Amino acid sequence: MTGNLHQETSQPGVTPKSPRRSARPAARKLGVWAVFDQGLFTSTNFLTALLIGRVSGPSELGAYALAFSIIMLMICLMRAVLISPFVVVRGQLEEDQLGSMRASMLLATLLLGAISALVALVVASSGATLLALVMALALPAGLLRDFGRRLSIAELNLRTAITLDAMIAAVQLSLVGGLALAGQLTAVHALLSCSVTWLTVSLGGLVFSRLRYRLVPRNIAADLFRLWPVGRWVGMSQLLSTAQAFVMPWIMAIAHSLELAGIYAACWTIVQIASPAVEGLGNLLGPALARSAAEQAWRDFGRQVRVTALVFGVLMGGMTLAVTLAGSGVLSLLYGEPYAEYYPVLLLLMLAASVISLGIPASKALTQFGHAAANFWITLAGLTVSSVLALTFLLAVGVTGAAWGLIVGGCVTTVTRWALFRRHELSVMTSPARQHSATASAAPRVAPAKGGAT
């Protein structure tokens, strides 16, 4: 066997294929499917908000945006505490351990959903709006829906993620569209339709993939504590990153009006048109960086971070240019004439999203370097700056001021993340262990004698 293997890999004139090079077409294919899946997810949310804003007006869209922001914050917490750490530790687990880990993560998601529903019921019982009561169903349904798709993406099982998102898109848009045609589309009805769709499809997906889960009660605590060292900082950091975008409608609703929150939400949904490519590629960057770090392939690690940032810059820059050329007509075409006067807000939010997206690759790299805590403090500083400036400028000059606050906060986080990433990249590239590894890999290998042991 060793003789045949040696013979196959040492034929004169034949250059053996590099595993890394042969994996690139597969990685590009995964990237395309990841972008497609994120496109399904984003377009479903976008079309739902579009129907609400156009049929029911800015106030109903504002109410829906506030409710959806709470759901997204809880989803982001689940992703960061469970899914993101799972991406880091997955390569260290055997198949039976993976089954146990999946089941433990599912139980944690269900527990988080139950606690969220209980809080929503308490708020609803205190005399709050009917929307708070619907949130008791929407929160656990949204968490369960996102757990299924994110776990599939983390394991590069994109076929399952696309199937789930396609089914949800078909059912959700049919229900919301039917309500719009019947003249019954409100924030409450739309959120209720979404919740029923998410819960039904997600439960069906769990039944279909039940063999991938292996519940071992004695392992639950150990599985979750294994994720905690990474998840505690990543979770808070990603929660703050999400809050940086979703806190703005709350600032406007509290400091000004629900209608202004709806205007802001309408502009933000247009900005999110570019998010399928950004989030789809970002979802694949984490596992790719984890693999490069495990192999100590630091040059590939840095190249992946920079190439991804370059792609994000081109995508968001092209989107900003397209919105600039389209003018205020893009808002009036999608949402109606009352929204057209807020075209400057749309342009500023496009710029803010571009700045924030450039920091995503550096953020994921810092997590792989083991600096999730530093990433959290950077994100907290950016959120504090953007929130304080947004509130101050909102009271002074209106909604455009809030957008400027988001830009400044995004600059703080992005520039600091890249500076810290560059410092640690230089550290690992010049470390003695790295130099010894490079020397060992460059040394000539002596082929074993024919017929000898290998």
349-373 per-residue burial string, b: 16 or more CB within 10 A, e: under 16: bbbbbbbbbbbbbbbbbbbbbebbe
Per-residue pLDDT of the chain (454 residues; tens, 9 = 90+): 444 433 333 444 444 444 444 445 555 666 677 778 878 888 898 899 889 988 888 888 888 988 888 898 888 888 878 887 887 777 777 777 888 888 999 999 999 999 999 998 888 877 667 888 899 999 999 999 999 888 888 887 888 889 999 999 999 999 999 999 998 999 999 999 999 999 999 999 888 888 788 888 888 888 888 887 766 776 677 777 777 667 778 888 887 778 888 888 888 888 887 777 777 677 667 777 877 777 777 788 888 888 888 988 888 888 888 888 877 778 888 887 878 888 888 899 999 889 988 988 888 888 778 777 888 888 888 888 888 888 888 888 878 888 888 899 889 989 999 999 888 877 776 665 544 443 333 334 444 444 443 3
What integer pLDDT is reported at residue 15 of this predicted model?
43
Task: Provide the pLDDT for residue 161.
Answer: 86
Residue 56 vs residues 60, 183, 268, 360: alpha-carbon distances, Å? 6, 9, 18, 35
Is residue 1 assigned to a domain? no
pTM, to two decimals: 0.71
Candidates 270, 371, 379; CA nearest to 316 is 270
402 near 264, Cβ under 8 Å?
A: yes
**Looking at residue 171, what is its pLDDT?**
95
State how far the alpha carbon of 444 is from the alpha carbons of 11, 263, 439, 440, in Å.
17, 65, 10, 9
Count of domains for the chain: 1
Contact of 412 with 382, CB cutoff 8 Å: yes
Residue 439 inside a domain? The answer is no
Is 72 among the domain residues? Answer: yes
State the pLDDT at residue 439.
35
Question: Do the domain assignments include residue 235?
Answer: yes
Q: Which two tokens stand for residue 437?
A: 């590894």
Residue 444 included in any domain: no
Can you give the pLDDT at residue 194? Answer: 95
263, 340 Cβ separation under 8 angstroms: no
Integer Cα distance of 421 and 435 in angstroms: 20
How confident is the model at residue 153, as a pLDDT?
82
Task: For 72, list phi and psi in degrees, rounded to 5.
Answer: -65, -35
Structural domain including 81 reads 31-431
End-to-end CA distance of the chain: 10
Q: How far is CA 142 from CA 69, 73, 198, 267, in A?
A: 12, 11, 6, 23
Angle in degrees, CA 101, 278, 288, rounded to 5: 45
> Is residue 454 in some structural domain?
no
With respect to residue 91, please indicate whether it lies within any of the assigned structural domains: yes
Is 441 a domain residue?
no
**Nearest of 109, 98, 108 to residue 213 by alpha carbon:** 98
